[in-house]
């Protein structure tokens, strides 16, 4: 895996070993960032289920102001820290929490994000909980990028589908406020 574009273009990034993390492929990341390019520069970004941090790292490389990485797994948190250190990227905060707790915390604090990146484990996605919190943390003119299994067409009440694309076994759905 590598950074696709921006200040750190071409730099390799680390991913935690094992099957617990499913990093977003370079191809999917490139296509996602082509879709949301106008929202990245100077954006406040929330990277849920961050894993290796590839999506948030890509956002920082492309000019995001800040990225909050939310990841519960210790090995994945270490990979994010290692990547941030290696790439000399600033503006990052890592919350070692599960996504639901992280979302609840950010919502309770009234924080809003211009771009929310969510790549939950496909089989374990709790859409009811996500639907409760995601609209609260998404800025009024912000975008939510949600990755799911290709056969799944996610619905999140309170948010409208802007576009949806399939990339092999993955589907990327971009939401905005209704």
In a domain, residue 65? The reply is yes
Comparing CA positions, the residue from 91, 43, 51, 57 lying closest to residue 70 is 51
In a domain, residue 17? The reply is no
Q: What is the mean pLDDT of each run of 10 residues along the chain (178 residues)?
A: 86 76 75 91 96 94 97 94 94 95 96 95 79 94 94 91 93 95
d(CA 43, CA 46): 10
For residue 140, the enclosing domain spans 26-177
pLDDT for 176 equals: 96
Question: How many domains does the chain contain in total?
Answer: 1
In a domain, residue 83? The reply is yes
In a domain, residue 7? The reply is no
In a domain, residue 61? The reply is yes
pTM value is 0.93
Q: Using CB atoms within 10 Å of the CB of residue 25, give its burial: 0 to 12 exposed, 13 to 18 middle, 19+ buried.
A: middle
pLDDT for 67 equals: 98
Domain of 58, CATH number, reads: 3.40.50.150
| Beta carbons within 10 angstroms of residue 143's beta carbon | 25
pLDDT for 93 equals: 97
d(CA 66, CA 178): 25
CB neighbours of 85 closer than 8 A, spacing ≥ 6?
Answer: none
pLDDT for 138 equals: 97
In a domain, residue 37? The reply is yes
């Amino acid at each position: 895996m590598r950074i696709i574009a921006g200040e750190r273009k071409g730099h390799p990034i680390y991913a935690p070993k094992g099957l617990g993390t499913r990093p977003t492929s370079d191809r999917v990341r490139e296509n996602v960032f082509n879709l949301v390019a106008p929202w990245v520069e100077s954006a406040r970004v929330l990277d849920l289920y961050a894993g290796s941090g590839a999506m948030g790292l890509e956002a920082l490389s492309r000019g995001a102001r800040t990225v909050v990485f939310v990841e519960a797994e210790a090995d994945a948190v270490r990979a994010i820290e290692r990547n941030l250190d290696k790439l000399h990227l600033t503006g990052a905060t890592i919350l070692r929490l599960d996504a639901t707790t992280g979302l609840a915390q950010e919502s309770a604090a009234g924080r809003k994000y211009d771009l929310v990146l969510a790549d939950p484990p496909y089989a374990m996605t709790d859409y009811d909980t996500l639907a409760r919190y995601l609209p609260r943390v998404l800025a009024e003119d912000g975008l939510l990028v949600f990755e799911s299994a290709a056969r799944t067409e996610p619905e999140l009440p309170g948010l409208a589908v802007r576009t949806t694309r399939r990339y092999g076994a993955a589907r990327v759905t971009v939401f905005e406020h209704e």
